[in-house]
């Protein structure tokens, strides 16, 4: 019997390195980034619907605020793009169970787009290979190709050109979440403003970080975390500096604003240290809420 419904689980990400090159003529920036997929997951369930009923969508779960339940949703855009590229009539209902905080620099929308590609491929037996999926993914957003593969990878271009990174060991994270997000374009605009008088060179991979990942050395990974958007995120949201300070004070191996923020990600030595830091951050009163996660984990995957 043909399959009528499928659920795909997809992780969030943190950036261990986010180096931003000069603003190009098209307004974009060349990046060198190191992504790590972490264990906070959305679930995208796609179910076949009546012929000619089109694409409908519902959002459930812990983080629904700010997620569009219409054709602005990246999961709908992904479905429409595949329908166009593969010349298909696609009538489906999409339900997104959201656990990835929204507009928090953890690529939740990109994750849902990646999950949708995997789900539609499965449901319609398209037999897409990884390259074909990545091509569709890159048209939907720079972070979408990484959410297909997960693990640890270096992203160049706008982040969509991926090279797998050799990484050993498991890394434990505490995430300080904010109830109000920051929009990615606003953070890049602030970054450009803050760097207006500076000479910005083309970004490079940080070799110390790559060697530390290879050696499963969380202490050096913690000391090597960098994000060129951090100053801009802190400029727009000065309270983030307090959050960064509290985490460092309570023994985090390293801390940085994740992507365009406002999530602050703390790398800790192990699960126990994570629990201690989560308690300290909650007690400090400077964070909205706290989550714990580990990485790397795999990318978008059909749940059987
Ligand atoms: P980026 O990928 O640029 O780092 P982000 O992780 O900070 O983004 P997202 O959670 O992806 O932020 O949400 C950014 C915006 O994308 C939301 O405010 C929302 O308007 C829109 N959006 C579209 N589709 C989705 C989706 N499936 N889930 C969450 N947001 C979505």
Q: Which atom of ligand 1 is nearest to the CA of 75?
A: 27
Q: Which residue's CA is the closest to the ligand 1 atom numbered 17?
A: 103
Using CA atoms in the order 28, 209, 37, 35, what is the torsion angle rounded to 10 degrees? 10
User: Dihedrals φ, ψ of 76, to 5°?
Assistant: -70, -45
182 lines ligand 1 (CB under 6 A): no
Check whether residue 153 and residue 175 sit in a common domain: no
What gap in Å lies between CA 143 and CA 109, rounded to an integer?
9
Q: What is the pTM of this model?
A: 0.95
The reported pLDDT for the residue numbered 27 is 87
112 lines ligand 1 (CB under 6 A): yes
The reported pLDDT for the residue numbered 175 is 96
Check whether residue 56 and residue 205 sit in a common domain: no
Q: Which residue's CA is the closest to the ligand 1 atom numbered 27?
A: 109
185 lines ligand 1 (CB under 6 A): no
Which residue, 231, 224, 226, 171, is CA-closest to 198? 231
**Domain CATH number, residue 102:** 3.30.230.10
143 lines ligand 1 (CB under 6 A): yes
CA distances (Å), 274 to each of 89, 216, 229, 294, in order? Answer: 48, 18, 25, 10
What gap in Å lies between CA 119 and CA 44, rounded to an integer?
8
**Domain CATH number, residue 283:** 3.30.70.890
Domains in the chain: how many in total?
2
Q: At what angle do helices 108-123 and 74-85 cross, to 10 degrees?
A: 40
109 lines ligand 1 (CB under 6 A): yes
The reported pLDDT for the residue numbered 77 is 98
Check whether residue 113 and residue 260 sit in a common domain: no
Neighbouring residues of 281: CB distance < 8 A, sequence distance ≥ 6: 174, 176, 243, 246, 247, 250, 287, 290
The reported pLDDT for the residue numbered 72 is 97
Q: Which residue's CA is the closest to the ligand 1 atom numbered 14?
A: 103
β-bridge pairing 5-23 and 301-302: antiparallel
74 lines ligand 1 (CB under 6 A): yes
Full pLDDT tens readout for the chain, 304 residues: 578 999 999 999 999 999 999 999 888 899 999 999 999 999 999 999 999 999 999 999 988 888 999 999 999 999 999 999 999 999 999 999 999 998 888 999 999 999 999 999 999 999 999 999 999 999 999 999 999 999 999 999 999 999 999 999 999 999 999 888 899 999 999 999 999 999 999 999 999 999 999 999 999 999 999 999 999 999 999 999 999 999 888 889 999 999 998 999 999 999 999 999 999 999 988 898 999 999 999 999 999 7
Check whether residue 270 and residue 247 sit in a common domain: yes
Q: Which residue range is the domain that position 13 belongs to?
A: 5-165+297-302
Say how many Å lie between the first and final Cα of the chain, rounded: 16
The reported pLDDT for the residue numbered 62 is 86
Taking the alpha carbons of 254, 230, 249, 204 in that order, is the dihedral positive or negative?
positive
Check whether residue 156 and residue 231 sit in a common domain: no
For residue 80, the CA-to-ligand 1 centroid distance in Å is 18
What gap in Å lies between CA 269 and CA 294, rounded to an integer?
11
What gap in Å lies between CA 84 and CA 110, rounded to an integer?
19
Both tokens of 108, joined, read: 């939740």
178 lines ligand 1 (CB under 6 A): no
Check whether residue 207 and residue 268 sit in a common domain: yes
> Which of 46, 78, 103, 180 has the most ligand 1 atoms within 8 A of CB, as the residue to mutate?
103
For residue 8, the CA-to-ligand 1 centroid distance in Å is 18
Check whether residue 206 and residue 145 sit in a common domain: no
State the catalytic residues. Answer: 13, 143
The secondary structure of the chain in percent helix, strand, coil, rounded to multiples of 5, reads 35, 30, 35
């Amino acid at each position: 019997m043909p399959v009528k419904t499928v659920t795909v689980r997809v992780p969030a990400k943190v950036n261990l390195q986010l180096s931003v090159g000069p603003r190009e003529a098209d307004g974009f920036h060349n990046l060198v980034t190191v992504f790590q997929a972490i264990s906070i997951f959305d679930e995208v369930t796609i179910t076949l619907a009546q012929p000619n009923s089109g694409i409908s969508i519902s959002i459930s779960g812990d983080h629904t605020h700010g997620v569009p339940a219409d054709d602005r949703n990246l999961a709908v855009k992904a479905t429409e793009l595949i329908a166009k590229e593969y010349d298909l009539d696609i009538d489906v209902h999409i339900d997104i169970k959201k656990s990835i905080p929204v507009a928090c620099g953890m690529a939740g929308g990109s994750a849902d787009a990646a999950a949708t590609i995997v789900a539609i491929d499965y449901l319609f037996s398209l037999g897409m290979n990884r390259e074909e999926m990545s091509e569709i993914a890159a048209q939907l957003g720079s972070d979408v190709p990484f959410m297909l593969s997960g693990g640890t990878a270096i992203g160049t271009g706008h982040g969509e050109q991926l090279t797998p990174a050799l990484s050993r060991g498991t890394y434990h994270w505490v995430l300080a979440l904010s109830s109000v997000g920051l929009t990615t374009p606003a953070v890049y605009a602030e970054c450009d403003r803050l760097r207006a008088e500076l000479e910005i060179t083309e970004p490079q991979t940080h070799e110390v970080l790559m060697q530390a990942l290879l050696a499963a050395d969380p202490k050096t990974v913690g000391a090597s975390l960098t994000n060129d958007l951090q100053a801009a995120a802190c400029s727009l949201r000065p309270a983030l500096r307090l959050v960064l300070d509290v985490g460092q004070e309570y023994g985090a191996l390293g801390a940085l604003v994740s992507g365009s923020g406002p999530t602050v990600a703390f790398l800790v030595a192990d699960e126990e240290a994570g629990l201690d830091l989560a308690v300290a951050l909650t007690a400090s009163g400077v964070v909205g809420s706290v989550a714990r996660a580990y990485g790397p984990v795999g990318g978008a995957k059909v749940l059987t």
